[in-house]
Amino acid sequence: MRNITRVRGACLLVALWSTSAWAGVAVSGGKLYTMEDAEAAEGVTILISGGVIEAIGVDLEIPFDYERVDARGKVVTPGLIESYSQLGLVEISGEATTVDGNLSEYRLGPAFDVRFSINANSTLFPVNVMDGVTRAVVAPRAGNDPLAGWGAVVDLATGSLTHSRVALFGNVGARTAAFVGGSRSAVLQRLIRAFREARRYSPSRYRPDEHDYRGQDMEALRQFRGADVPLVMEVHRANEIVQVVNLAEDLDKSLVLRGGTEAWQVADFLAQHEVPVIVDPLDNLPRSYDRLGARLDNAALLHRAGVRVLISSQETHNVRLLRQGAGNAVANGLPWIEALAGVTRYPAEVFGLDNIGILTRGARADLVIWSGDPLEITTWAERVMVDGTWVPMRSRQTRLFERYHDLSGDKPFGFR
């Protein structure tokens, strides 16, 4: 009896070691896009340990205690990054008690900070990370005020906040014009005045007028002016894009445009001022007078002028559509490698996410093994890794499928 117990104990130890005690991971074969080079590398091995990439190369010696993953016939890329979302801030858009990404009543502008309400248990995280989106910028939704507040970055594998105050978000357009009296000129003047006041802001001396920012907002602007983070402005009309770029130049702050429906009309100007643009490649309808110049090849035209193009799905509940949007940008003229960079390397660079969005020695081990071309709708993510840990390919959707796909037999009434 003792011998049987010992054998069972030994088998248990072997099983535990083989499933959860790997010292690292070795991913071999496959077509690897490191995003440091435009060309894919083939026949290489990636060694991963401690959440980071130890080495990438051909004929690397794989330690015996590393998990070996055969990626031959697959495509390996960095994890995808969504440049603008409300992940963790909204669960059901039509139910106000589950929406924390914007303010409707309380008066707060640039001081609004989304990091305090990110829900790590949101069901939106697992379903989107399963399709290769490993990190996302979480930002306040554009509201009436030209400045909406601070954004952050989350890890979709855990739903945890990894970077706070990565940018100050805002917008210029018809909605903010209505907030300040009806003119877009007033919007820009409000911004100019607020940033100028922030230069000399002193809590003991500040005396705001009725429509000026309160002290907490001015303190936020003062902190923004001293931080090395960009101003992200949603702007669509060409002439307003130029004005916002000039404003950022006066502030000596880096600017990122979001939306930029008519950005193609001033592409050379944007390239000259090194302003990246976050675009939705499917935004081709003139849904308002701000967007009369909408066209499907916006991303391609911007790239040809020398503008860095970031791609966003603009769909929080389906951030996983990010790669399909990138594929549509390719179909309309954007080079394939640029589309992939627009959902990996470029967002990481723009938002200051060091060692993310690339696959190189010392980088965070965020990677995806795809069944084929990740920008094709017929492919899927076979395995997803975040910080060196494989993500469970399970979500609320997969559990519902497992529960209800077979209603035969003597299942309880609740399953029918």
Contacts with 146 (C-beta within 8 Å, 6 or more apart), sequence order: 109, 170, 171, 172, 176, 179, 180, 187, 190, 191
pLDDT in tens, 351-406: 999 999 999 999 999 999 999 999 999 999 999 999 999 999 988 888 888 878 77
Q: How many CA atoms lie within 13 A of 219 on its CB side?
A: 10
162, 279: one domain: yes
257, 170: one domain: yes
pLDDT in tens, 176-196: 888 778 788 888 998 998 898
103, 141: one domain: yes
For residue 41, the cross-strand partners are 32
255, 309: one domain: yes
Q: What pLDDT tens digit does each residue of the chain (416 aa) get? A: 444 444 444 444 444 444 457 899 999 999 999 999 889 999 899 999 999 999 999 989 999 999 999 999 999 999 999 999 999 998 888 877 877 776 655 567 899 999 999 999 999 999 999 999 999 999 998 778 899 999 999 999 999 999 999 999 999 988 888 877 878 888 899 899 889 888 888 888 888 777 788 889 999 999 999 999 999 999 999 999 999 999 999 999 999 999 999 999 999 999 999 999 999 999 888 888 888 999 999 999 999 999 999 999 988 889 999 999 999 999 999 999 999 999 999 999 999 999 999 999 999 999 999 999 999 999 999 999 999 999 999 888 888 888 787 777 776 766 65
Structure tokens at 410: 């003597």
Question: CB of 191 within 8 A of CB of 208?
Answer: no
Please indicate, yes or no, if residue 413 is contained in any of the structural domains: no
Domain of residue 296 covers: 81-181+228-242+249-353
305, 188: one domain: no
Please indicate, yes or no, if residue 156 is contained in any of the structural domains: yes
pLDDT in tens, 145-160: 899 999 999 999 999 9
pLDDT in tens, 74-95: 999 999 999 999 999 988 888 7
Please indicate, yes or no, if residue 303 is contained in any of the structural domains: yes
pTM: 0.91
Q: In Å, how far are 181, 193, 238, 293 from 188, measured between CA atoms? A: 12, 9, 14, 22
Assign 3-state DSSP to the chain and report helix, strand, coil percentages, each to 5.
35, 25, 45
